[in-house]
A and B are shown apart, each in its own frame.
Chain A
């Protein structure tokens, strides 16, 4: 049993990323999509928190959402994997439950 958590809001606007990280279990995966992708970039106020969470949780960010917002996939925090929709589907299939933090 493992869970794929998705977060779709910027941590600068909403608490959903924080709530997600506060509940995700070791070996779960967290995928940042839509407006949550800004949290993945190095140099933000959340970078350290993400890097820390990445010690126990697998972190992913959706590349098409980064690109749409002019954010460089090469500049994501170390340990966050950039994936596309195919990768999103794979994660959803590999984990037994999907929890979308809204």
Chain B
């Protein structure tokens, strides 16, 4: 089954991104496909290459990056929400790409299920 995932919140204020990552990983491990993960609202902050969390905690951005690397998951950051928050092409960690909101609607159409994680 193809899942689309929407992440509404940034990496550390809320658990949303962690929950979305755990869900995505479990889905892939069970043989499902993640059609796309779309980052919107403050969720765009999950894509920043400048995050350096303390070494004794998980690295949310790296988790996503690794998922993209290992399983070719499409990680898309909303351009409009990103520009508002200072997330532009140059800010992106490897594995993320920036594109329009239409990519979210398209994921809703193409994926079998759309799951939202937010505040």
- With contacts A34-B15, A102-B8 known, is A85 near B23, CB below 8 A? yes
Residues of A with C-beta under 8 A to B91: none
29 A-B pairs in the complex with CB atoms less than 8 angstroms apart: A8-B15, A8-B19, A8-B118, A8-B119, A34-B15, A34-B19, A84-B26, A85-B22, A85-B23, A85-B25, A86-B26, A86-B29, A89-B23, A89-B27, A89-B32, A90-B30, A92-B3, A92-B115, A93-B1, A93-B32, A93-B112, A96-B113, A98-B113, A100-B115, A100-B116, A100-B118, A102-B116, A102-B118, A102-B119
> Are the CB atoms of A88 and B26 closer together than 8 Å?
yes
What separation, in Å, do the CA atoms of A46 and B43 have in the docked complex? 31
CA distance A34 to B15 in the complex (A): 7
**Interfacial residues, chain B to chain A (CB-CB below 8 A):** 1, 3, 8, 15-16, 19, 22-23, 25-27, 29-30, 32, 112-119
Residues of chain A lying within 8 A (CB to CB) of residue B116: 98, 100, 102
Which of B16, B29, B113 touches A92 (beta carbons < 8 Å)?
A: B113
With both chains docked as a complex, state the minimum distance between the C-beta of B26 and any C-beta of chain A, in angstroms: 4
* A5-23 with Cβ < 8 A to chain B: 6, 8
A30 at interface by CB-CB < 8 Å: no
Q: Is the CB of A33 within 8 A of B19?
A: yes
